[in-house]
Chains A and B, each alone.
Chain A
């Protein structure tokens, strides 16, 4: 309330008080008093009217002031709300961006951690692979122990390929296999360390698959990756009818070089020479019984372009050997010298493998002279629909019985063999095979076999 209004208020009360005193005073003349009272009443009424007017104006002013304050307050509140909303939006956007960035970082870190663990495992030498096969054989052969037919266990073959740094690598292969006589044989098939000089050259040391032909190094104990059930007999393992050392302990230099559309491949090796031990080739994993080493090599050309899938090669080996027929003093000695050629073609429709071995051996005891022999095989497989491959194979070995090398081997007899079969790929890592085989052996005569095999790789 303003001072003018407060002054007016006090004036009114004073006036009222004065009017009351005046009205309450005794002994005054009635006329003069009546006139004075009337005058005072008129003034009082006027004052009251003034008071009412002032009060009304005061109310209006107070109402206007209140509305103004409310409007100002509302505007301020709106500005505050807008500012708060803007801050909140900015904060939300920043939070979202942070969240997305953190999610990306977490995802990247997780991926990196996963990959790092896998990389660590690979570097540490964890990769383990292998093959396994079981089957059934129906045969009319007449083995000494009388077992001809029945279910048969094949191989369980494990191999590891650990790497040690960028250039060093190794290959370790352990094989469990039941022999023809039913005994379980454990064989450290391969134990080799390698150093990769560059893209064209790797040097291996240890026990390795002797690099002649195609079959011996490509398939070996890998039943699932070879089309047929049986290996060609001439490239069989030492204790399974093979006429060449399937394994060598020594050094092996190998590589490929780009040439035109294709690549030239080479293998050069030297190792402990073979000896004949009780009719079987002994590749001598621990020390050599003579100072003469087995040396050999192969050169291939892998075509590219229109002939992609075709490989042609030549191979050879030489070694002096002793025949420890009875396990004691060598009963015979000679020189093994093999040359030959091989080829294979592999595309989506066909797999064709052919190998030829020419022997020009010499006796170093007994009947003197040089003796020629040969052996070869050809297998053709045609990929049909639905994962089925039909194949046929022809083999023949004409071996000179006067050659100390073949005379000292149980398997050193001439033979011919024909095989026909079907392979069904259940999936990329499992196969079922069925094979019929007829063999004409110079010593054992004719025999027929039917085999079924299930083979896997992992």
Chain B
């Protein structure tokens, strides 16, 4: 009986933890930017630099980076940082700027024709939702 209760409590704890991690992620882009959902990972790994003649500016969001890296890029933060360090050292690429939160990402996406970022809540008008995760 005690074992069953412990198991149930553990299961509930896991559900709670997963619920905490399971918030939506919205990848957003400037309204004039044409980006396919299949290109998001390549963009954030520096393999795709230009879309429709516009230089891409991927933006990281400190409020959601861990979740984004897990769901979309499939690397942890250390690996992600090392990849960009190597890309910078070999190819002269600058890593995505790290924004302080959703508001900063939205502001940059609205004003920069090549900007693409990710936020934690559904945006209002002024940006294009590329993909919801």
Contacts and interface: CB of A to CB of B under 8 A. Distances in A.
Interface string B80-102: 01100110111111100101100
Interface in A104-127: 107-108, 111-112, 114-116, 118-119, 122, 127
Contacts of A348: 76, 79
Contacts of B107: 108, 111-112, 115
A293 to B, nearest CB: 23
Interface stretch (A218-226, A282-290, A313-321, A439-447): A218-226
Contact of B50 (A107, A169, A198, A225): A198
B10 interface: no
A38 to B, nearest CB: 105
Nearest to B99: A115
A443 to B, nearest CB: 34
B65 interface: no
A108 B103 contact: yes
B55 A167 contact: yes
A369 B82 CA distance: 46
B82 A161 contact: no
Contacts of B99: 115
A169 B92 contact: yes
Interface in A195-225: 196, 198-199, 202, 209, 217-218, 220, 222, 225
Contact of A171 (B92, B103, B108): B92
A277 interface: no
Contacts of A196: 49-50, 55
B82 A218 contact: no
B114 to A, nearest CB: 8
27 contacts: A107-B103, A111-B103, A111-B104, A111-B107, A112-B107, A115-B97, A118-B97, A119-B108, A122-B97, A159-B88, A161-B92, A166-B54, A170-B92, A196-B49, A196-B50, A198-B50, A199-B49, A199-B50, A202-B91, A218-B90, A222-B89, A225-B85, A225-B89, A425-B78, A428-B78, A428-B81, A428-B82
B86 to A, nearest CB: 6
A115 B104 contact: yes
A46 to B, nearest CB: 93
Interface string B38-59: 0000000001111000110000
B129 to A, nearest CB: 20
Given A115-B111, A256-B47, 12 more contacts: A111-B100, A111-B104, A115-B104, A118-B97, A119-B97, A159-B88, A161-B94, A196-B55, A217-B90, A218-B89, A348-B76, A428-B81
A129 interface: yes
Given A111-B103, A115-B108, A220-B89, A263 B78 contact: no
A407 interface: no
A33 interface: no
A250 B101 CA distance: 43
Nearest to B49: A199
Among A122, A161, A167, A225, which residue has the most Cβ atoms of chain B within 10 A? A161
Interface in A128-176: 129, 159, 161, 163, 166-167, 169-171
From A114, A115, A196, A256, name the one whose CB has the most chain B CB atoms within 10 angstroms. A115
B112 interface: yes
Nearest to B104: A111
B81 to A, nearest CB: 5
Contacts of A218: 86, 89-90
A438 interface: no
